Amino acid sequence: MNYTCKACGSNMVFSPKNQKMICLHCNQLDTHEKKTNESLVTCISCGADITPGEFVSSSKCPYCGTYVIYDERVSDKFQPDVIVPFKLDRDTVFNTLDREFEDRLFTPTKFLTEATYKDLEGKYIPFFLYDFAADGEYLGVGTKERSWRSGDYTYHETSYYDVERVMHAEYENIPADASTEMPDDKMDLLEPYDYHELLSFDPKYLSGFFGEIYNEPSMAYRDRAYKKALSSAKKIMKDSISGYTTLKAKVDKMDVKDKDVEYALFPVWVYNFKWKDKDNKIYVNGQTGKVIGRTPVSKIKVLAYTLSTGIISFACMELLIKILGEVL
């Protein structure tokens, strides 16, 4: 399918700046209509063969420049539940990168030039968002010691405590990217995305951008999210038991159960560049502007600017620690 302007018939794309559809020819906003293509492999506009790669859900026709969305890759089992639409447009990201890298290069030519502008690509990356529920139980004996002097004697006192904890925590929307091509560590660093701006999926958001479908089903990526929930729950339990000189556990259990999973698309600007004959990439969070990547100057220094902070990466929706008893 693609989106065309009711006024002039040209291609319409999603504009991050306006958060509306915009006509590439007459600039009218939200005058779009959807045109469905019967063939997956021919361009609806010029008829050229545009067979998509295995995981491509939307792209640009290399012959006529029309943005195409592949119906079968955004419906049924491939229909995303939610999407964070692009918030930063190409110009903003280009200027951000230009500013960030300007001072860091000793090369006389600018790192980003008009010629490299086209290598900045807006992509929707597939993610799964996992929900878990954690139940923990701890039973043990803790000791506290104190010493004091009185006359010629030093007294030592050891107090024994029964330590009991029961906790329940709910985790919602722990993300893991479902793209083999995207490096997991880079995608983790690009977080957080602000989930307040999660919207129900609509294919129109893909117009003007490249899209990718999940490469494997959700179970293939689940362990990455599960480990985050488990380690968070264990830390909550551990932090709730403090102040003892010694601690001996009789029961120390943490049970993390799968609850739900959603298929999401998140926006990423990918800047491709060559340096000393090597292909390099810099990633920019298309919602927050966070930049992840390496500059050509130093191969050691990894840029990880947080341009927008204070957003939670996953929501710990409900946390309840019940202290059953602490008895001398």
Please report whether residue 69 would count as binding Zn ion according to CB under 5 A: no
Please report whether residue 61 would count as binding Zn ion according to CB under 5 A: yes
User: Whole-number minimum distance, CB 46 to Zn ion, in Å?
Assistant: 3
Among 1, 13, 23, 292, contact with Zn ion (rule: CB under 5 A)? 23
Please report whether residue 46 would count as binding Zn ion according to CB under 5 A: yes
User: Whole-number minimum distance, CB 42 to Zn ion, in Å?
Assistant: 8
User: Whole-number minimum distance, CB 11 to Zn ion, in Å?
Assistant: 9
C-beta closer to Zn ion: residue 21 or 282: 21
User: Whole-number minimum distance, CB 32 to Zn ion, in Å?
Assistant: 9
Instruction: Using the rule CB under 5 A, give the single segment among 20-28, 137-145, 275-283, 314-322 that binds Zn ion.
Output: 20-28
C-beta closer to Zn ion: residue 64 or 220: 64
Instruction: Using the rule CB under 5 A, give the single segment among 43-51, 152-160, 230-238, 273-281 that binds Zn ion.
Output: 43-51
**If DSSP states are collapsed to H, E and C, what string results for the chain?**
CEEEECCCCCEEEEECCCCEEEECCCCCECCEEEECCCCCCECCCCCCECCCCCCEEEEECCCCCCEEECHHHCCHHHCCCEECCCCCCHHHHHHHHHHHHHCCCCCCCCCCCHHHHCCEEEEEEEEEEEEEEEEEEEEEEEEEEEEEEECCEEEEEEEEEEEEEEEEEEEEEEEEECCCCCCHHHHHHHCCCCHHHCEECCHHHHCCCEEECCCCCHHHCHHHHHHHHHHHHHHHHHHHCCCCCEEEEEEEEEEEEEEEEEEEEEEEEEEEEEECCEEEEEEEECCCCCEEEECCCCCCCEEEECCCCCCCCCEEEEEEEEEEEEEC
Please report whether residue 42 would count as binding Zn ion according to CB under 5 A: no
Please report whether residue 4 would count as binding Zn ion according to CB under 5 A: no
CA distances (Å), origin 32, targets 13, 43, 174, 203, 309? 9, 18, 34, 12, 35
Please report whether residue 43 would count as binding Zn ion according to CB under 5 A: yes
User: Whole-number minimum distance, CB 10 to Zn ion, in Å?
Assistant: 5
Site string for Zn ion, 216-255 (x = CB under 5 A): ----------------------------------------
Among 64, 105, 141, 230, contact with Zn ion (rule: CB under 5 A)? 64
User: Whole-number minimum distance, CB 56 to Zn ion, in Å?
Assistant: 15
C-beta closer to Zn ion: residue 46 or 323: 46
Among 17, 18, 26, 235, contact with Zn ion (rule: CB under 5 A)? 26
Q: How far apart are CA 206 and CA 3, in angstroms?
A: 10
Residues near Zn ion (CB under 5 A) = 5, 7-8, 10, 23, 25-26, 43, 45-46, 48, 61, 63-64, 66
